[in-house]
Amino acid sequence: MSLASEMSVTLRLPTKTLFKGQATRLMAVAQNGGFGILPNHMDMVTALVPSVLTLVLTDGSEVIFGLDEGLLVKKGHHVSVSTRRGVAGDDLVSLQDRVQDSFIQMDEDERIARAALSRLEANMVRRFADLRKPSL
């Protein structure tokens, strides 16, 4: 493998790609603590905890993301991060507000979906019970 000055980074959510681009450095938090990755870092896989992920882009600017639990895979000069929930922010204060608003809304949407699924399951059980009743 050749030495590189940048790496390709992709952050994926279940419904969309949150970020795709080139970076010179990545900082994240795993279960055993914070770590950094440079383009020529050895290949690795790690589980991420809910935290802030920071990217230093090729122009020197920083981009920050608030992530839920996820998985980071580095292979060659490509880093792929998959997480259930995540948001981008301009600074830590705005990121905290966006995470709070976004994650609270997602939790509410998930609660509503679970309630709808429970009603569907209960309705299906009732219909199966009706099928077992002897007809007169």
Global confidence as pTM = 0.69
CATH H-level superfamily of 7-92: F0F1 ATP synthase delta/epsilon subunit, N-terminal (2.60.15.10)
64-79 confidence digits (pLDDT tens): 998 888 999 999 999 9
Q: What is the 3-class SS of the chain, one letter each residue?
A: CCCCCCEEEEEECCCCEEEEEEEEEEEEEECCEEEEECCCCCCEEEEECCEEEEEEECCCCEEEEEECCEEEEEECCEEEEEECCEEEECCHHHHHHHHHHHHHHHHHHHHHHHHHHHHHHHHHHHHHHHHHCCCC
94-130 confidence digits (pLDDT tens): 766 676 666 666 777 777 788 888 888 888 888 888 8
